[in-house]
């Protein structure tokens, strides 16, 4: 690791180097966790130094990707933008690859690139080693815009992306962001996504992660909300062998609103660490976080979440609710909600529950002629879809339906 800064300078000796070097120094200063998360498990999603070193590997030999241009407004393949729809160009939406923004000193979007450094050890490393990413700028006052992004990466190669979305004041849009692998192979892949929601703007962001079974996926999504803005975040995590997913919203604007509805589905020996939190400094701002997970096989899922309401954030609310459905006696689930409340003029609460399917409900469905596996599948689907019903996203709903149908193909016990 001592020589990595030299490697970064050799590979990224451009206008972004000082930013990268700063992030890498912060990574080196961040302590490696040594304590046990629980008496029985040392690390929920273990990462060693070799994993992190692999994020620095240079890679060029990609397998040929499939052609899915017609299914997306923006197609990002490995380390470059492959396609941008005419619809976005006509509406004045700027779509750039991040390297081009970094290389243009006069680009007005450039300050956004160097604003966000990170908080977590792994996030610092991703911000030091990103190879490219997309930059989307939605102009002020644009209404009823939908953007469908597909990010394809070769599963046999490491990948580090840095993506930014800036929504101008008084705009209203829906962004769907799907992360998918093609080909086969084992690798570690990471991304940071930074989202800036302008004054009085509304953004609904739909995140889907369906990566290959041998890929370790690290994702850090940070949102920044201005006065009276609204950000609604729906996320679905299904793929990957080890997943660290962090969603943190900074409600710095007065009257800003942040809502998260998350779904995860782990099976076999997957390891999921799902983190959803808010940090509130604006007055009369509101955070509502609801996450649901399903655990099957020998997999593991943990939900962590902090509602952090600072001293100046009076008249604010913060709610966190975690529910995990444990469908296997060999699986492991845990939930660790937290409240950090620094003033007494707020409303806040948290709740968590881990349970199995209700046997009485299964019996009721079987008494109506529904086979046991189908009954379990329907109950699991309903449990997850309750968190996505307001998304009005048929693709997300179809994926949850497909995940729940996996129960039907399980061997009889």
Q: What DSSP assignment string belongs to 228-272? A: T-EEEEEEEE---SEEEEEEEEEE-STT-EEEEEEEEEE-TT-EE
- Check whether residue 409 and residue 347 sit in a common domain: no
- Check whether residue 150 and residue 161 sit in a common domain: yes
pLDDT at 270: 96
- Check whether residue 317 and residue 385 sit in a common domain: no
- Check whether residue 148 and residue 275 sit in a common domain: yes
- Check whether residue 166 and residue 177 sit in a common domain: yes
Which of 321, 336, 357 marks a domain boundary? 357
- Check whether residue 324 and residue 387 sit in a common domain: no
Give the list of residues 6+ apart from residue 227 with CB closer than 8 angstroms, or none: 199, 200, 253, 254, 255, 256, 282
Which of 323, 339, 357 marks a domain boundary? 357
- Check whether residue 316 and residue 403 sit in a common domain: no
pLDDT at 5: 61
Give the list of residues 6+ apart from residue 286 with CB closer than 8 angstroms, or none: 251, 256, 257, 258, 316, 317, 318
Q: Along the chain (413 residues), what's the average pLDDT of each consecutive run of 10 residues?
A: 60 72 87 71 81 79 72 90 94 92 80 84 92 95 96 93 96 97 92 97 98 96 98 97 97 98 96 97 98 96 95 97 95 93 95 93 91 93 94 94 91 70
Q: Give the global pTM.
A: 0.94
- Check whether residue 189 and residue 318 sit in a common domain: yes
- Check whether residue 379 and residue 261 sit in a common domain: no
Which of 334, 357, 380 marks a domain boundary? 357
pLDDT at 68: 64
Domain extent for 373: 358-413
Structural domains counted in the chain? 2
- Check whether residue 157 and residue 66 sit in a common domain: yes
- Check whether residue 115 and residue 241 sit in a common domain: yes
399 — phi, psi (to 5°)? -65, -45
pLDDT at 69: 59
- Check whether residue 323 and residue 390 sit in a common domain: no
């Amino acid at each position: 690791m001592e020589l990595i800064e030299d490697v970064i300078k050799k590979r990224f000796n451009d206008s972004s180097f000082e930013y990268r070097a700063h992030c890498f120094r912060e990574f080196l200063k961040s302590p490696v966790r040594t304590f046990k998360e629980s008496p029985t498990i040392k690390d929920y999603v273990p990462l060693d130094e070799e994993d992190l070193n692999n994020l620095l590997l240079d890679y060029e030999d990609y397998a040929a990707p499939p052609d899915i241009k017609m299914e997306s407004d923006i197609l990002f393949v490995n380390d470059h933008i492959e396609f941008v729809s005419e619809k976005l160009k006509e509406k004045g939406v700027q779509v750039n690859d991040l390297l081009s923004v970094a290389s243009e000193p006069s680009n007005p979007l450039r300050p956004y690139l160097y604003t966000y450094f990170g908080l977590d050890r792994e996030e610092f490393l991703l911000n030091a080693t990103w190879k490219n990413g997309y930059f989307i700028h939605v102009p002020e006052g644009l209404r009823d815009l939908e953007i469908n992004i597909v990010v394809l990466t070769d599963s046999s190669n490491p990948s580090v992306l840095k993506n930014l979305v800036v929504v101008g004041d008084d705009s209203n849009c829906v962004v769907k962001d799907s992360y998918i692998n093609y080909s086969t192979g084992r690798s570690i892949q990471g991304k940071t996504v930074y989202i800036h929601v302008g004054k009085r703007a509304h953004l609904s962001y739909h995140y889907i992660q369906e990566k290959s079974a041998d890929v370790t996926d690290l994702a850090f999504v940070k949102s920044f909300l201005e006065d009276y803005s609204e950000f609604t975040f729906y996320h679905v995590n299904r793929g990957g062998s080890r997943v660290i997913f962090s969603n943190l919203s900074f409600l710095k604007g007065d009257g800003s609103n942040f809502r998260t509805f998350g779904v995860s589905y782990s099976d076999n020996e997957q390891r999921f660490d799902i983190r959803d939190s808010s940090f509130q400094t604006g007055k009369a701002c509101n955070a509502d976080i609801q996450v649901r997970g399903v655990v099957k096989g020998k997999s593991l899922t943990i939900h962590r979440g902090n509602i952090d309401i600072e001293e100046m954030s009076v008249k604010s609310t913060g709610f966190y609710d975690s529910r995990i459905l444990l469908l296997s006696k060999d699986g492991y689930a845990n939930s660790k909600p937290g409240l950090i409340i620094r003033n007494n003029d707020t409303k806040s609460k948290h709740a968590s529950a881990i349970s199995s399917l209700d046997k009485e409900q299964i019996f009721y469905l079987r008494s109506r002629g529904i086979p046991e596996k189908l009954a379990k599948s329907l109950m699991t689907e309903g449990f997850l879809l309750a968190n996505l019903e307001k998304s009005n996203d048929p693709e997300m709903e179809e994926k949850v339906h497909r995940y729940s149908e996996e129960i039907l193909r399980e061997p009889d016990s």
